[in-house]
Structure 1
Amino acid sequence: MSVVSLLGVKIMNNPAPFTAPYEFEITFECLEQLREDLEWKLTYVGSATSAEHDQELDSLLVGPIPIGVNKFIFEADPPNLTRLPSSEIIGVTVILLTCSYDGREFVRVGYYVNNEYDSEELNNDPPAKPIIERVRRNILAEKPRVTRFAIKWDSEESAPAEYPPDQPEADTLDDDGTAYGAEEAEMQAALEKELEETETAAQDKQKDGDQETVETKEKEEDEESEAGSEDLEEESSESEDDEEDEEGAEAEDTEMADGEDKAPAANDTNGEQKSADSHPEVMVH
């Protein structure tokens, strides 16, 4: 647990001219009485390619520190232009606000800083030699990068564990590089197997769907065929019944016709007999 905790940093003048001093309002909390002072520093990163252009703009000792919440104003001078590459004055850079106790840094706050001209014309067509009086800085105060470190304060109980811890047996252990590579290979093989199983399941599902579609289609065709057969059979039965009815009707008509023909013949015979009976005296040779 840290004895001193940074609660907030407020940048007083932002944006500001490049040559204006930096002003910070710093608020922190102290939980124990400290024997030493706190040392605050502000560093300007002059180049993104080399640390030799970094400048410590100012430092400040704050103490003795009372227990509780404390607040103070930290002012720092602007960077020395003679120590900055002229090609890297315009653009984005970084400033670092740090605090140390007894030479041990326990908190660091980093800010991006954008240096640009105060006119669009100069920004679109910057001169070869920077015009410093026209350059303004803008600190991105909304996005600080805060890093905290565990340190020893006044008591041994507050000292953090050594990092990395001593591991005398580490040299006697086998190199796990091979095992790590084997584990990666197993994971890769398991992933490939899972992908293959997924693809196979998808193909089987598609085949089952196609087979079901074919079976359904065949079933529908069979039902249609059976329905057609039934209709044909019914039509055939109806046709046979109609033919039988027609044949029966024709037979009845024939019988009736035959009856009519036979009846007159019987009548004629009877008539002749009656005539013969009525004229017995007439002989026919």
Structure 2
Amino acid sequence: MSVVSLLGVEVKNNPATFDAPYEFEITFECLEQLQKDLEWKLTYVGSATSNEYDQELDSVLVGPIPVGVNKFIFKAEAPDLARIPNSEIIGVTVILLSCSYEDREFVRVGYYVNNEYMDEALQLEPPAKPVIEKVRRHILAEKPRVTRFAIKWDSEESAPPEFPPDQPEADLVADGDQYGIEEEEEEEEEEAEGAQEGAAAAGAEDAEMAGAEDTAGPQPEEDAASEAGSEEIDIEDSEDEEEEEEEGEEGGDDDMEMDEAGQNGEQKQTSAQQPVTQGNADVMVH
């Protein structure tokens, strides 16, 4: 909380000629008894492109300051034309009214100032060297820009806290000790384990497929070889044998279909397990 609060500023002579003095009526409130004086200062901004043309028009010390509402008149002379570029005299510029306590600025009020010729002919065709006697200034007093700063007054309790606080230990943290690095390592390990499980399941499926070829049922060639030793062949016996062969083949197809169905079930179970592992990895990341 500020010990001194600016309540209002009134520009007394506005508009006025360019070389007329500046005059302000300043009202402020003091909440505590101050040990030192307040310093009020008026600065004229000579150029919008460089601060080397800024001029301190005047400064005044006000004190001792009684507790309560205070009011005074602050006057300052016009700026020195020799310190302003000719191209910057006509047009819009800025003046700054500020107040400090022990060289610590706590309030600043900025006003736009429009410098223009009073003669319409000079407005249309301004001369290369400004005619100051015919230049009028207009302070936009109804639109001030007020900036306040927190400062230390007479007691340490009134000093504003430092922000942001110093954190020298933050520079000592190793690059690897970063937020989220453990989660990333766990995610990579889980992905590697999931890949190994998928490879093992694929190897087991290949082995089962290889075994299925050996147990797919009786081969027709073996039946034909066993019957080649008989010289007498009956038509009924042949038909019976053909029917048995057909039944054997149909049984082999059934065995193949059952094996393929079992393999497909195992593949579905393996593929169903993989998204669960990925889902757990996402949870660890978040």
**TM-score normalised per structure 2:** 0.60
The match for 2:140 is 140
Pair 173,134 (structure 1): closer, same or farther in 2 beyond 3 Å: farther
Counterpart of 2:31, as a letter, is: L
Displacement of 1:130 after TM fit? 0.2
Q: Residue 155 of structure 1 aligns with which residue?
A: 155
Separation in structure 2 between the aligned mates of residue 42 and residue 137 of structure 1, nearest angstrom? 16
- Runs of 4+ in structure 1 deviating by more than 4 angstroms, as ranges, are 172-175
Q: What is aligned with 2:20?
A: 20
What amino acid does structure 2 have at the position aligned with 1:9? V
Structure-1-length-normalised TM-score: 0.60
2:168 is aligned to 168
The structural deviation recorded for 1:119 is 1.8
Cα distance between partner residues in 2 of 1:36 and 1:13: 31
- 1:46-73 superposed Cα distances (whole Å, 9 cap, x missing partner): 0111111000000000000000000000
One-letter code of the match for 2:93? T
Q: 1:10 is matched by which residue type in structure 2?
A: E
Matched residue type, 1:131: V
RMSD: 1.6
- Pair 149,82 (structure 1): closer, same or farther in 2 beyond 3 Å: same
AA partner of residue 46 (structure 1): G
The equivalences for 1:185-200 within 5 A come to: none
How many residue pairs get aligned? The number is 177
Shift of 1:173: 5.7
> What's the CA shift string for 1:109-140, capped at 9, x where partnerless?
00000000002221111011100000000001
Residue 168 of structure 1, CA deviation: 1.9
Partner SS state of residue 114, structure 1: strand
Equivalent residue, structure 2, for 1:67: 67
| Deviation for aligned residue 1:80 | 0.4
How far the C-alpha of 1:172 sits from its partner, in A, is 4.3
- Residue by residue over 1:163-182, the C-alpha shift from the partner in whole angstroms, topping out at 9 and shown as x without a partner, is 3321223324689xxx9xxx
- Structure 2 gap segments, 5+ residues each: 180-286
Aligned-partner SS, 1:112: strand
Amino acid at match of 1:11: V
Q: Distance between the aligned counterparts of 1:159 and 1:165, measured in 2?
A: 15
Q: What SS class does the counterpart of residue 82 from structure 2 fall into?
A: helix
2:223 aligned residue: none
Match of residue 11 from structure 1: 11
Q: Please give the residue correspondences for 1:1-285 in structure 2 after superposition, counting only pairs within 5 Å.
A: 1-172=1-172
Q: Percent identity?
A: 80
Letter in 2 for 1:17: T
Name the aligned partner's letter for residue 31 of structure 1. Answer: L
Q: Which is higher, the Rg of structure 1 or of structure 2?
A: 1
- Structure 1: how far apart are the matches of 2:163 and 2:25? 33
Counterpart-to-counterpart distance in 2, 1:117 and 1:174: 66
Q: Give secondary structure in 2 for the equivalent of 1:133.
A: helix
